[in-house]
A = this chain, B = another copy of it.
Amino acid sequence: MSASREIEDLIELMARLPGLGPRSARRAVLHLIRKRGALLAPLAQAMQQVADSARECLNCGNIGTSDICDICASEKRATGELCVVEDVSDLWAMERAGVFKGRYHVLGGTLSALDAVGPEDLRIPRLVERIGTEGITEVILALNATVDGQTTAHYIADQLQGRVRLTSLAQGVPIGGELDYLDDGTISAALRARREL
C-alpha cells in the first residue's frame, strides 16, 4: 500500500465521479491534499452541506435546497410561460443563457418503450396539473433533438393541445444535439426563434 487507508478510500470514491478515472482521481486527490486548507476542507464542508440540504423541488423537479425551488417560489417567474426540459442540467443550461423569464418543468427523462418509461414515470401528470393551477398560457417544449426527446414532445403536445399555446425551441438546436452541450448564444437564438407546433 502506498498511501494510507483514508487516502485510498478518498481516491476510490473520487474515481466514481463522471469524467474522472482512477488516474485522474489520484491526481485530483494529490492536488486536494496539497491545497488541503484552501480547497480540500472547504470542499468537504460544501459537500456535506449539499448532502444535508439538496432535494428536488416538489413542484418542478429542479434541484435546490428547499421543498419549493427559488424559481417556483418567485412571483416574478409567474409569467404564464412554462419551459419543459428533460433534465435539471438542461434547466441550468437555459438559466445560464439568461433569456427565459418564466418557470420550468423537469421531466426527469424521456418516454422510452425500450426502457419501459411511461408518462407517470416522468412528472407528466404533474405538468398537466400545473397548466390549470398556475395559469400557464404557453408551454415551451425544450426537449433534446433526439428520437426519444421528440417522441416525448409529441406526447405532451397531444395531452395539452387546445389548452395552451405550444411552442418548441427551433433555430439553432442541431439534430441529435443535447441542450447541455450548446453554448448560451445558441440557446438564446433558439428561444427567440421558437415556433408554433
Binding site for B on A (CB under 8 A): 1-4, 6-7, 9-10, 13-14, 16-20, 23-24, 26-33, 36, 39-51, 53-54, 62-66, 69-71, 88-89, 91-92, 94-96, 180
* Cβ 8 A contact of A14, one of B24, B43, B88, B89: B43
B2 lies within 8 A of A92 (CB): yes
Q: How many copies of the shown chain assemble into the complex? A: 2
The smallest C-beta distance from A69 to any residue of chain B, in angstroms, reads 8
What are 10 of the A-B contact pairs (CB < 8 Å)? A2-B95, A3-B64, A4-B70, A10-B47, A18-B24, A27-B89, A30-B88, A33-B50, A40-B54, A44-B47
Report the nearest B residue to A63, measured CB to CB.
B33
B19 lies within 8 A of A42 (CB): no
Residues of B within 8 A of A36 (CB): 50-51, 54
The smallest C-beta distance from A84 to any residue of chain B, in angstroms, reads 16
Residues of B within 8 A of A89 (CB): 26-27, 30
Residues of B within 8 A of A46 (CB): 6, 9-10, 13
Residues of B within 8 A of A41 (CB): 47-48, 51
Apart from A7-B64, A44-B45, what 8 extra A-B contacts exist at CB < 8 Å? Answer: A7-B63, A19-B20, A26-B89, A30-B63, A36-B54, A40-B54, A41-B51, A48-B48
Assess A18 versus B44: contact at CB under 8 Å? Given A6-B49, A64-B4, A92-B3. Answer: no
Assess A19 versus B16: contact at CB under 8 Å? Given A3-B92, A4-B64, A33-B54. Answer: no
The smallest C-beta distance from A160 to any residue of chain B, in angstroms, reads 25
